[in-house]
Structure 1
Amino acid sequence: NQWLFYRQWLELKGYANSKGIAIVGDIPIFVAMDSSDAWTSPKEFFLDDEFQPTVVAGVPPDYFSATGQLWGNPLYRWASMKRNGYAWWIRRIRAALRLYDIVRIDHFRGFAGYWEVPAGEETAINGQWVTGPGADLFYVIREELGDNLPIIAEDLGEITPDVIALRDEFNLPGMKILQFAFSTDASDKFLPHNFSRNFIVYSGTHDNDTTWGWYRNTATDKERDHFRRYFRTDGHDAAWTMVEGAWRSVANVA
């Protein structure tokens, strides 16, 4: 069944491409402990002699969670990967680009630095920031795949200057989420008048409510008021208003 789906998917992709439609796919920076990747390439991960992780992925405590988020993914042995020319990552990106024309990498900030938590912890509190491979990895990917990397950097969350520098060094488009734009003031980076061109604008992501659900249920009164004043609307068709706002922005893609 998997083989049959794979064949049908490539036929569908070929048809879409023939009509001038490019397909955007999505891969997470980390893989699951029970994934085929961890099973077939255990030396690429921090695993013990019994193939159990010694450290796992997460994010630190923040405004939204006092204990952070404990994802539990095994972490990469970046030094080992570097010695073999990041071959595992090259294979992974190549495989993704067989299925999609453009690949969005979730948690892009982890390439600059990631939150490492000792295995066995019940929360992410006792983790630490660890420096990622940074530009070194993307130099190799660019050498293998060409200068114009078809990669979208999911640059949401706790974004530090090193993440922005890494994204911009390789001219990777970042993301703007309109549902995030209305909680502060005119300087908010998610408001369309603050965009630059090399971004992709979304009304929301898989982590958000629908735009109509956001406007009716999730947004605060202040956010709804800001939304109406910014787009000069009465809010009766908030979803379409946000779509039009994305299209009218200077960002290259919406």
Structure 2
Amino acid sequence: MNNVAEENFRPVHQILTRRRAGILLHITSLPGPGVVGDLGRDAYHFVDFLVSSGVSVWQILPIGPTMHDNSPYQSSSVYAGNPRLISLELPLQKGWLEAIPESEDVLSDAVKSYAIKLAWEGFKERADKGDRDDYQRFVAEQKHWLEDYVLFQALHQEEGGCWWEWHTTLRDREPQAIAETRARFTETIDVIRFEQYLFFTEWMNLKHYANERGVLLFGDLPIFVAHDSAEVWAHREFFDLLEDGHPRVVAGVPPDYFSETGQRWGNPLYCWERLEADDVSFWIERLRAQSTLFDFLRIDHFRGFEAYWEIPAEEKTAVNGRWVEAPGERLFEQLYTDLPDLELVAEDLGVITPEVDALRKAYHLPGMKILQFAFSGGSDNPYLPFHHTRDSVVYTGTHDNDTTLGWYRGLDDGTREFVDNYLGKPREAMPWPLIRTALASRANLAVIPFQDVLGLDGAHRMNTPGTTEGNWDWRFDWDQIKHGTTERLLRSIKMYGR
């Protein structure tokens, strides 16, 4: 990468110019009646908990529709919301849904989907003019992605399989085949479109509630796009694909702290020349959309904007890949030209070179400091608190780490003794000594995974990178919040000026 020109430097982010404390908790981890948490009353209750605790940032994982493994980092759309997160409270309140169909104690995804179909029928029959106008406005404003998405999902429901397995006329989006399919699946498409209207209405209601009470929503944007997604199907020219739709090469990371064989994510890589020829409009529209849903965003795998790990598609692991330079400077220059108020945080973990660091600093993107990574390698370890800078976000751990209690218990005796000595041999039990260290850091934003606030062990971990089983399904229960937790958080946050 060339040295970033001085004139490209941006003002410091506005949101992170003051000290704040945040909690990391995905929507799916909330309590509630469904198989995952949703945007209903428990989400509002959690905002109230944050306010009472002095927390002003709620960090959330990506919210797009998930696939078979429920990973929020592999979504069938970069724009759409996950229908599993929809609460039935809104359509019940509006009178579009008369009652939730009978089910077991837990509201299943199938029952929720059926209820949304009933709500669509009720909406057509009973919605007032204001709601009808609001729906039509949503459809018109989101048309640039919504119509591809609803057709893509309808084809998945009616035809099955991945898009590159469809009949070539649909795979290659021949106009006549697309028009005929839209006509054939009109009813299914209408329900999916309404489903997205419900999601976005509920999301913006929750965001308004949080913002009114001083809580900012901190989102997460995966750098890559899932192969079997509406955007790859609709915009194949922007991705490095073969003629039959299969990827030539795929994304991942080389062997690292998390995995000896690296991580083969399997996402298709971008055709950056085509993106640049189109003034990176794909990225601009994606960021524009996400910026309406969140107050600021973390870009996952930021180092991939300077150079990305390219793995031949036929390889089973990420070992035999290579670094390929990416036009990050050109991308961010255009992003901030079109979206000057964009607020981003860089996930700068992994193999970080001076060039990656220069790109991040050129656009004043705060980086991440993970305390669980701090206690190895000696005093020059960049994650040790005395190396933190104000333009950072400090975490005890992230969704990819063990809980702090699980991490601490898993340390060898020597490392555990070093941690204890570094932290001054505190009398408090883990994880609170590490929580206090995060809150005391010079970093202007300190984020604590909610599992750590609850003092939970490794059985409550959210994700183990490099594995495909048992991830993304952790949920908490309100009775896990011990008496005095709110007050303890509030005192600590005030003590450390957050």
Same fold per superposition (TM over 0.5): yes
- The answer to whether 1:55 aligns with 2:264 is no
- The answer to whether 1:164 aligns with 2:360 is no
Q: Within 5 Å, which residues of 2 pair with 1:156-235?
A: 156-216=349-409, 218-234=410-426
Please state whether the residue corresponding to 1:23 is helix, strand or coil: strand
Deviation at 1:220, TM superposition (A): 2.2
- Counterpart for residue 122 of structure 1: 316
Distance 1:45 1:235, change over 3 A: farther
Q: Partners in 2 of 1:35 and 1:233 — Cα distance?
A: 50
From 138, 152, 155, the equivalent of 2:348 is: 155
Deviation sequence 1:2-38 (CA, Å, 0-9, x none) = 3212210111101111112110011110011111221
Q: Partners in 1 of 2:285 and 2:258 — Cα distance?
A: 36
Farther-moved stretch of structure 1 (32-41 vs 234-243): 234-243
Aligned residues: 252
- The answer to whether 1:11 aligns with 2:200 is no
Deviation at 1:61, TM superposition (A): 3.4
| Gaps in structure 1 of 5+ consecutive residues | none
Q: Within 5 Å, which residues of 2 pair with 1:67-86?
A: 67-86=261-280
Deviation at 1:63, TM superposition (A): 6.2
**Contact 1:55 / 1:118 at 8 angstroms: preserved in 2?**
yes
Farther-moved stretch of structure 1 (33-42 vs 103-112): 33-42
Distance 1:143 1:17, change over 3 A: same
**Contact 1:183 / 1:222 at 8 angstroms: preserved in 2?**
no
Farther-moved stretch of structure 1 (82-91 vs 44-53): 44-53
Q: Within 5 Å, which residues of 2 pair with 1:105-120?
A: 105-120=299-314
| Gaps in structure 2 of 5+ consecutive residues | 1-194, 447-498
Q: Partners in 1 of 2:196 and 2:427 — Cα distance?
A: 45
Please state whether the residue corresponding to 2:389 is helix, strand or coil: coil
Q: Partners in 2 of 1:11 and 1:65 — Cα distance?
A: 40
Q: Partners in 2 of 1:106 and 1:150 — Cα distance?
A: 14
**Contact 1:149 / 1:172 at 8 angstroms: preserved in 2?**
no
Q: Partners in 2 of 1:111 and 1:133 — Cα distance?
A: 7
Q: Partners in 2 of 1:85 and 1:102 — Cα distance?
A: 23
Please state whether the residue corresponding to 2:226 is helix, strand or coil: coil
Q: Partners in 1 of 2:427 and 2:308 — Cα distance?
A: 39
Deviation at 1:126, TM superposition (A): 2.6
- Counterpart for residue 2 of structure 1: 196
- Counterpart for residue 89 of structure 1: 283
Deviation at 1:224, TM superposition (A): 1.4
Deviation sequence 1:129-182 (CA, Å, 0-9, x none) = 110112110000000111x53101000001111110000000000000011111
Instruction: Tell which structure's C-alpha radius of gyration is larger.
Output: 2
Q: Partners in 1 of 2:296 and 2:352 — Cα distance?
A: 22
**Contact 2:210 / 2:216 at 8 angstroms: preserved in 1?**
yes
- The answer to whether 1:34 aligns with 2:236 is no
Deviation at 1:123, TM superposition (A): 2.1
RMSD over aligned Cα, in angstroms?
A: 1.5
Q: Partners in 2 of 1:9 and 1:105 — Cα distance?
A: 20
Please state whether the residue corresponding to 2:250 is helix, strand or coil: strand
**Contact 1:154 / 1:174 at 8 angstroms: preserved in 2?**
yes
Q: Partners in 2 of 1:188 and 1:59 — Cα distance?
A: 21
Q: Partners in 2 of 1:166 and 1:220 — Cα distance?
A: 36
From 135, 143, 151, the equivalent of 2:329 is: 135
1:188 aligned partner, one-letter code: N
Farther-moved stretch of structure 1 (199-208 vs 32-41): 32-41
- Counterpart for residue 219 of structure 2: 25
From 20, 44, 47, the equivalent of 2:238 is: 44
Q: Partners in 2 of 1:2 and 1:75 — Cα distance?
A: 27
TM-score of the superposed pair, with normalisation by structure 1: 0.94
Deviation at 1:42, TM superposition (A): 1.0
Deviation at 1:46, TM superposition (A): 0.7
TM-score of the superposed pair, with normalisation by structure 2: 0.49
Please state whether the residue corresponding to 1:242 is helix, strand or coil: helix
Please state whether the residue corresponding to 2:431 is helix, strand or coil: helix
Q: Partners in 2 of 1:62 and 1:246 — Cα distance?
A: 24
From 419, 433, 439, the equivalent of 1:241 is: 433
- Counterpart for residue 253 of structure 1: 445
- Counterpart for residue 144 of structure 1: 338
Distance 1:235 1:82, change over 3 A: farther
Q: Partners in 2 of 1:16 and 1:65 — Cα distance?
A: 37
